[in-house]
Structure 1
Amino acid sequence: MIETDLSHYLINLTSVKEGHYDDIVSKIIDGRIDEITDRLTELATNEENGWNKLVVYLDLRMRGKRLANSNIPNVVSVVDRSDKPTTFVMIASETRPINLVRLIKLLDLSKSLGVNVVLAIVDKYGDVTYYSLEEINLLK
C-alpha cells in the first residue's frame, strides 16, 4: 500500500541537507565522475526512483537552486538562504503512473505551509520538464 498521509514527514521538513545527492552532484559538476561510479551504480539499482531524483537534483543545482531533503519520498525541497522551503518538487518518471492522492496531499500540505509545488517529469533520455501545480476551485 502506498503511503498517502504526508503529515508525519513534517518533523524534519527543513534544515536537513540532501547530503547523499549533494555529494554526488558536486563531484559530477567538478568532473570527478570516476570517484563515484560505484555510488551511481548503487543508486540506480537500490533506490526506487533514485536515478530520476539524481537527474532532477543535478538539474536544479545547475540552475543555481539551493536544495534540502523534504523527507517526503520522491520530493526535493527548494529552500531560500535561511533554509526555509519555498518549493516542493515532486519527481516522477514519464513511464510510471503518478499517485494522485499523494499529489493532492502534497498540494494540501504546501498550501498550509505557503510553499509552491512543481512536478518534475523525467523522460527516458533524462530530460526534465517542470510543471507548476496549484489547486483551483471551480465555482458555479
Structure 2
Amino acid sequence: PEIFAESRVGVKTTEFSTYLLDLVELAYLTYFKECEVVDVDGQNLKLGDLFSKYSRSRYDWIKFTTFLDLRNRGRVAQPGYSENMLIFEMKGQRYAVYVVEENSPLNTKELLSWIDSALLKNLEPVLALVDANGDVTYYTVRKYRLEDLV
C-alpha cells in the first residue's frame, strides 16, 4: 500500500483500507517493476498479460501510453471520468486529456460534448494523439462558434 501512495496512484477506500487502481495505474507499476500482479490462479502477469486478460476498452493501451508519457514528463496523470480520459495538474491549472489513436475516426459531436464537459469541470481540454509507434502528440483544444470568428 505504501507504493500506491508514493507513486500517487489509486484511490484509498476507507471502508476496507484498500486501494482501487485503474488498469493503467497497475500497468504503470508493473512496467517499472514496482509491484507484481498475480491473478486468481496464482500466475504472475507481465505487462502484456495484464492488458490481454483485463483490458475492457479499446482505449486502454493508448491511455496507458499517454499516462506513461505524461508521468515521464513529470506530470502526475490520473484516470479521468471516461474510458479515454486522463487528468493532470500543472502550474495550478487542471487539464483533461482526451486520448485518441492516430488514423482512427473522431466523432465531432462526441468531442464537442467532451470539451463542454471538461470546461464545466474547470478543466483545460487537451487532445492526445497516439501514433502507431506509441509517440504522443498533444494539442490544446478550443471551441469556437463561426459567428464569434467573423
Contact 1:18/1:69 (CA < 8 Å) preserved in 2? Answer: no
Q: Deviations over 1:71-127 (max 9, x none)?
A: 2121111147xxx98111001111211111111111112222221011111111111
Q: What 5-or-longer segments of structure 1 have no aligned partner?
A: 1-14
Q: Which residue of 2 aligns with 1:42?
A: 53
What's the offset of the Cα at 1:65?
1.4
Q: Which residue of 2 aligns with 1:101?
A: 109
What's the offset of the Cα at 1:129?
0.7
Identity percentage over the alignment? 24
- TM-score of the superposed pair, with normalisation by structure 2: 0.67
Q: Which residue of 2 aligns with 1:70?
A: 80
What's the offset of the Cα at 1:30?
4.0
Name the SS of the counterpart of 1:97 in structure 2. coil
Q: C-alpha root-mean-square deviation of aligned residues, in Å?
A: 3.0
Q: Deviations over 1:58-80 (max 9, x none)?
A: 11111121222322121111147
Q: For the pair shown, which has the larger CA radius of gyration, 1 or 2?
A: 2
Q: What 5-or-longer segments of structure 2 have no aligned partner?
A: 1-9, 12-19, 37-43
- Is it true that 1:28 corresponds to 2:20 in the alignment? no
- TM-score of the superposed pair, with normalisation by structure 1: 0.71
Q: Relative contact order, CA 8 A, sep 6+: which one is greater?
A: 1
CA distance in 2, matches of 1:30, 1:72: 27
